[in-house]
Amino acid sequence: MALFTLRSLKKDFGIKEILKDASFSLDEGDKVGLIGTNGSGKSTLLKMIAGLETSDSGELWVNSSAKIIYLPQQPDLNEELTVLEQVFADSGEQMALVKEYEEISDKLSHGHGDQERLLDRLSIVSERMDITGAWDLETTAKIVLTKLGIEDLEAKIGSLSGGYRKRIAIASALLSAPDVLLMDEPTNHLDALSVEWLQSYLNRYRGALLLITHDRYFLDKVTNRIIEIDRGDLYTYSGNYSYYLEKKAEAEESALSTQRKHAGLLRRELEWLKKGPKARSTKQKARIDRAHALQATEFKQANAKVDITTTGRRIGKKVVELDRVGKSYSDRTLIKDFSYNFTPEDRIGIIGSNGAGKSTLMNIITGRLQPDEGTVEIGTTIHFGYFDQHSDDLAEHGNQRVIDYLKDVSELVKTADGSVITASQMLERFLFPPNQQYAPINKLSGGEKRRLFLLKVLMAAPNVLILDEPTNDLDVQTLAVLEEYLEDFNGCVIVVSHDRYFLDRTVEMVFSFEAAGEVRLYPGNYSIYLEYKKDESEKEANDIKEQSNKSSKEQKSNSSVPMPPEAPKTVTKKPSQLSYKEKREYEELEAKIPKLEEEKTQLEKKLYHNPPSGHVEIQKLSARLSELTEAIDKSTERWLELAECI
């Protein structure tokens, strides 16, 4: 069943035609990725479907029974609400019940009010929560928020950063259980673990999904259809991102082949026309008409790509040397006793949770911030190019024209091949046509602003390039070109990113921010780093298991109660018969399994019908539930093995 349908939709902003004749439908179960260059109209299309933007012409039909939730890049939240209140804002009666339950519980715990009356009301509210499913909603909300890295559920929205607000908006959108979820760059501001969780959640999500994202691994795992916006036209590919890349390459090759054939035929026909044929016969006249038709045929050129051809500058052997650097704020240590000598060939990826200290390290490296302890030495030939994640420089020049913003750096640009071009020509290579170059910066889309800022950074010819969350708001086409550029970049590259694909393509060493300000070094790209962490976790688990087994053996050997001897072996004993020790194990398992199952049942009741208010306690209960499930499975499997031998 179609949830919404677009027919011949058109949208023009004057300096750019966004949609020419857009038509497509979204059906139940569709998971669609919307891609295209920055400024191509992806966000505008989502806003039109959400009813926040009008079309110039065409038709947009929306199923009246379908619930549609739109998650913008910059969500607008109520700053007076707490985290939980915001998440439950669209939950109606369920939210009211949860809130009342929390208030009554608080009064009871502090001995406020008429305790007997409060207990009676609590019983009524609890029963109503059972009927409406509010218990499950609250538990799910706390789990979702925890997975997205939100810990203080009572914090006011107004006190939180933009990144945390985006996470809360994602949680709110997911918990509202819409029929259609429209998501604009949902992975921005999420760390790698949160992205992995969201990816897994959306894979199980039963509703339809239309999303914009730069995360190519995310696109590949979540979507089953790709729609590309290319200069006002929509192109649909029935598969994930890998399938799109394959079919896109085939389509472009086919188009080139068609153009080559057309050019060959046109050349032959023009040669024939030069001979001056007389249009005496109907056949000759038809051929002349065909030649003119061939001349009039126009082909749509392949989608333009960013052309990064800026030149670099010489770099000496000494880049940046950090010696026992440390930095703290109040009682929190961000960086502790960190040393590293950067080289001209380094390709470093820096990862860690939000607020771990990644940007602080960048500022120390560039000399913008002084460490509390240790030293920083910067080579005399070093020229930094800092592509910061907030593009603060652009905010200061919002009313300036695009062309003037670049001319502040240079009016002439030397390219990698040694030629010199104008700032205007350089802008065209970065997909800013002449009519857009004289528009103010604040008229550009978010992605176009980021692309413009990247151009300004590269035009300054740095030899140490620092990219702080470069994938935020840049389209996948530009990212692919940037990745190729970095392969041949003559200098040191330092990348702070949560984008797994980008890190895999660009880095050769990972700096990981661990607990208590420790920065650990892992050779290889991000996928290799994950393998290291997996091996470390498995080794740690094995060590714990071995230690546990060793302790158990020591306890048995030191016990004053002697172990019962095994039953004597006889020639009549079957090979499969249980030993005395195995019989004891069988009997113990028969008694143990029901106890484990009873504990699991009680824990499930507590977790799903009367959950604690604190998210830390919920995490403990969830972890214990997982342990019980695993213990029951293993115990039951062993019990069955022994039972077969009786």
The per-residue DSSP string of 392-419 comes to HHHHTTTTSBHHHHHHTT-SEEEBTTS-
Q: If you average pLDDT over every residue of the chain, what do you get?
A: 81
- State phi, psi for 23 to the nearest 5 degrees: -145, 125
- Domain CATH for 467: 3.40.50.300
Give domain status of residue 572, yes or no.
no
Judgement on whether residues 420 and 525 belong to the same structural domain of the protein: yes
- Crossing angle for the helix pair 162-175 and 134-147, nearest 10 degrees? 150
Give domain status of residue 481, yes or no.
yes
Give domain status of residue 561, yes or no.
no
Euclidean distance between CA atoms 281 and 221, whole angstroms: 61
Judgement on whether residues 365 and 274 belong to the same structural domain of the protein: no
Strand order in the sheet with 17-27: 17-27, 2-12, 57-62
Give, for 108, the enclosing helix (H) or strand (E). helix 93-110
pLDDT of residue 546: 75
The string of pLDDT tens digits covering residues 12-61 is 877 678 888 889 999 998 999 999 888 888 999 999 999 999 888 999 99
Judgement on whether residues 145 and 189 belong to the same structural domain of the protein: no
CA–CA distances in Å: residue 556 to residues 550, 563, 635: 10, 8, 21
pLDDT of residue 25: 92
- Give the chain's count of helices (H) and strands (E): 21, 20
Give domain status of residue 537, yes or no.
no
Judgement on whether residues 336 and 427 belong to the same structural domain of the protein: yes
Euclidean distance between CA atoms 474 and 308, whole angstroms: 14
Judgement on whether residues 188 and 168 belong to the same structural domain of the protein: no
Out of 175, 202, 230, a domain closes at 175
Give domain status of residue 278, yes or no.
yes
Judgement on whether residues 197 and 143 belong to the same structural domain of the protein: no
Encoded tokens for 17: 């035609």
- State phi, psi for 191 to the nearest 5 degrees: -80, 175
Q: DSSP states of 41-76 as a string?
A: SHHHHHHHHTTSS--SEEEEEE-TT--EEEE-SS--
Pairing of strands 492-496, 347-351: parallel
Mark the ranges of the chain whose per-residue pLDDT is less than 50.
Answer: 299, 560-576
pLDDT of residue 342: 95
Report which residue type is found at 86.
Q
- Write out the residue range of the structural domain in which residue 265 sits: 245-296
Euclidean distance between CA atoms 413 and 416, whole angstroms: 10
Q: Residues with Cβ < 8 Å from 12, sequence gap 6 or more? A: 18, 56
Q: What is the largest CA-CA distance in the chain?
A: 120
Judgement on whether residues 422 and 456 belong to the same structural domain of the protein: yes
| SS3 assignment, position 632 | helix
pLDDT of residue 262: 60
pLDDT of residue 337: 93
Encoded tokens for 513: 């921010």
Judgement on whether residues 398 and 337 belong to the same structural domain of the protein: yes
| SS3 assignment, position 82 | strand
pLDDT of residue 447: 82
Give domain status of residue 625, yes or no.
yes
Judgement on whether residues 454 and 325 belong to the same structural domain of the protein: yes
DSSP letter for 510, please: E
Bridge partners (DSSP) of residue 251 are none
**What is the residue whose two structure tokens read 């050769």?**
508
Q: Which of 520, 470, 516, 522 is nearest to 494 (CA)?
A: 470
Out of 175, 197, 219, a domain closes at 175
pLDDT of residue 419: 81
pLDDT of residue 622: 65
Judgement on whether residues 122 and 144 belong to the same structural domain of the protein: yes
Judgement on whether residues 255 and 231 belong to the same structural domain of the protein: no
Give, for 497, the enclosing helix (H) or strand (E). none
Q: Which of 309, 268, 314 is nearest to 291 (CA)?
A: 268
pLDDT of residue 283: 57
CB-based contact 81:245 (threshold 8 Å)? no
CA–CA distances in Å: residue 213 to residues 33, 229, 300, 430, 500: 8, 14, 26, 20, 13
DSSP letter for 387, please: E
Helices (H), 331-401: 358-366, 392-395
Judgement on whether residues 224 and 253 belong to the same structural domain of the protein: no
Pairing of strands 17-27, 31-35: unpaired
Radius of gyration (C-alpha) of the chain in whole angstroms = 32
Give domain status of residue 559, yes or no.
no
Pairing of strands 208-212, 180-184: parallel
CA–CA distances in Å: residue 293 to residues 34, 149, 298: 36, 62, 10
Give domain status of residue 549, yes or no.
no
CA–CA distances in Å: residue 39 to residues 16, 42, 304, 385, 396: 9, 7, 13, 25, 21
Euclidean distance between CA atoms 330 and 40, whole angstroms: 45
HSE (side-chain half, CA atoms, 13 Å) at 553:
6
pLDDT of residue 590: 80
CB atoms within 10 A of CB 251: 13
Out of 128, 143, 175, a domain closes at 175
CB atoms within 10 A of CB 281: 10
CB-based contact 42:36 (threshold 8 Å)? yes
**545-581: burial string, b at 16+ Cβ within 10 Å, e else:** eeeeeeeeeeeeeeeeeeeeeeeeeeeeeeeeebeee
Q: Which of 411, 404, 380 is nearest to 313 (CA)?
A: 380
Q: Which of 179, 265, 219 is nearest to 36 (CA)?
A: 219
Number of structural domains in the chain: 5
